[in-house]
Structure 1
Amino acid sequence: MRIFLAGASGAIGRHIVGQLVARGHEVVGTTRSAGRTDALRALGAEPAVVDALDPDSVAEAVAKAEPEVVVHQLTALSGPTNFRNVRRMVADTNRLRTEATDHLLAAARAVGVRRFVAQSNAMWMERTGGPVADESARIEPDPPSDTAAAVAALRHLEAAVTGIGWAEGIALRYGGFYGPGTDLSTAPNAVLAQRIRQRRFPIVGGGAGVWSLVHVTDAASATVAAVERGRPGIYHVADDDPAPVREWLPELARALGAGPPRRLPAWLVRLLAGESVVDMMTRARGISSEKAKRDLGWTLRFPSWRTGFVDGLG
């Protein structure tokens, strides 16, 4: 198939390009930076420099590509983690999940795309109903005020994509990425890994929040499966081992050669970083990916972070 991949130069985008090309698909991959076009070309993609927040730029690029499938992997979640930059990255990502989603959908409809696959995430599953959620669970309807805009953007993306009637709309709720090219890897510029080595990524309160993680190559292979044979709706994409923060974070620190994570009381973190951080570290729910494995024939190289941290951080 001919596939238009928005966000092809991102953490997961590069892996998706490689896997799609290996399976014989033609990929037009977008980037915001002309300096990344050679890297995309080396992966086998036809690069396109696109401003995803400009509807004319998006429409022109999609029309030129004439794809059968559009894959939306646009985020702005990379770079230094100082407070000001994090706020900017989140605000930019919110726009990519709202405005850019709408631009891509309009452009896809204009050229008769038959399938649209988009990145959502599973960090804000509704905080009731047990430690692990399947696809019937909602995005949290009443999130902390300091993350309300980000959660609303996720909700907009999922509703817009799965609600289209002119094509097959698929939203993928990914667990937390780790592995090569992500912020949780052995690369010297991996931001979250640096914080863990510096013991600046603490266990908050009792660390009871359950997180689902996924190796980035497994997340990419699930995306390829959705491109090739997904049905309209939502799929969860994570490994088979959801676990509380107090369990997986010390193991990740050990794998990175770091000291054990510090423990901080929830009230202090609430003052320093806000309610949303406390919520994610103490109340988050994991996800089940049984639907993706059953319906997409998806298999994981790393079914658990326990082996992935040892063999797959890369």
Structure 2
Amino acid sequence: MRIFIAGASGAIGSHLVFQLVARGHEVIGTTRSAAKTGALRALGAEPVIVDALDPDSVADVVARAEPEVIVHQLTALSGPADFRHVKRMAAATNRLRTEGTDHLLAAARAVGVAKFVAQSNSGWMERTGGPVADENGRIEPNPPADAAAAVAALRHLEEAVTGISWADGIVLRYGGFYGPGTGIEAAPDAVMAGLIRKRRFPIVGGGGGVWSLVHITDAASATVAAIERGKPGIYHVGDDEPAPVRDWLPELARALGAKPPRRVPAWLVRLLAGRTPVDMMTRARGISSEKIKRELDWAPRYPTWRTGFTEGMR
């Protein structure tokens, strides 16, 4: 198939390009940076530079590409992890999930795209109903005020994509990424790994929030399955062992050669950083990926973070 990947130079994009090209697909990949076009071309994609927040630019590149499938992997989640930069990244990502989604959908409809696959995440599943949610679970309706914009952007994306009638609209709710290119990896300049090594990524409160994790290559292979065989709707993409933060974070620190994470009271984190990190660390729910395994015959190479952390970080 001829596949247009918006956000092809991002964390999952390069892995996805590699896997799709290896399976014989023709890939057009977007980036915001001319400096990244060479890397995309080396992976076998046709690179294009586009501003996803410019509807005319999006319409033009999609019309010229004439794809059968559009894959929306646009985020602005990269760079340093200081507080001001994180706020800018979050705001930019919210726009990509709202305005950017709308621009891509309009362009897709104009050229008769048959399938539209979009990135969501599982971090804001509704905070009631047990430690693990399936695809019938909804996004948290009452998030902390400092997360309201991000949650609203996720909801907009999911409703816009699953609501289309002129093509197969598929949303992938990914677990937390780790592995090459994600920032949680063995590379010495990896941002999140650096925080963990410096003991600046603590366990908050009791650390009872349940997270689902997924190795980045497994996230990419699940996306390939959705592109090739997916039906309209939502699929969860995580490994087989959702676990509380207090269980997996010390193992991740050990795999990175770091000291055990510090433990910080929830009230102190709430005072210094707001309610969102406390909520994520203490109330988050994991996801079940049984649907995508059953319906699309997908299986993760790293079925648990325990082996992923030791074998899949390089």
Question: Corresponding residue for 2:238?
Answer: 238
**d(CA) in 2 for partners of 1:103 and 1:47?**
19
Question: Corresponding residue for 1:42?
Answer: 42
Question: Corresponding residue for 2:18?
Answer: 18
Question: Corresponding residue for 2:313?
Answer: 313
**d(CA) in 1 for partners of 2:284 and 2:296?**
26
1:62 matched to 2:62: yes
1:96 matched to 2:96: yes
**d(CA) in 1 for partners of 2:142 and 2:149?**
11
Secondary structure of 1:77's counterpart equals coil
**d(CA) in 2 for partners of 1:182 and 1:172?**
18
**d(CA) in 1 for partners of 2:292 and 2:190?**
29
Residue type at the aligned position of 1:154? L
Secondary structure of 2:171's counterpart equals strand
Secondary structure of 2:97's counterpart equals helix
TM-superposed deviation, 1:116: 0.1
TM-superposed deviation, 1:227: 0.3
| TM-score, scaled relative to structure 1 | 1.00
Deviations 1:119-178 (A, max 9, x none): 000000000000000000000000000010000000000000000000000000000000
**d(CA) in 2 for partners of 1:135 and 1:183?**
27
Question: Number of aligned pairs?
Answer: 314
1:261 matched to 2:261: yes
Deviations 1:206-264 (A, max 9, x none): 00000000000000000000000100000000000000000000000000000000000
**d(CA) in 2 for partners of 1:23 and 1:195?**
36
Question: Corresponding residue for 1:122?
Answer: 122
Question: Corresponding residue for 1:272?
Answer: 272
**d(CA) in 2 for partners of 1:156 and 1:144?**
17
**d(CA) in 1 for partners of 2:189 and 2:30?**
23
Secondary structure of 2:142's counterpart equals coil
Deviations 1:250-302 (A, max 9, x none): 00000000000000000000011110100000000000000010111101100
Counterparts of residues 42-191 of structure 1 (less than 5 Å)? 42-191=42-191
Residue type at the aligned position of 2:260? P
**d(CA) in 2 for partners of 1:30 and 1:165?**
25
Secondary structure of 1:201's counterpart equals coil
**d(CA) in 2 for partners of 1:160 and 1:9?**
24
Gaps of 5+ in 2: none
Secondary structure of 1:170's counterpart equals strand
**d(CA) in 2 for partners of 1:146 and 1:80?**
20
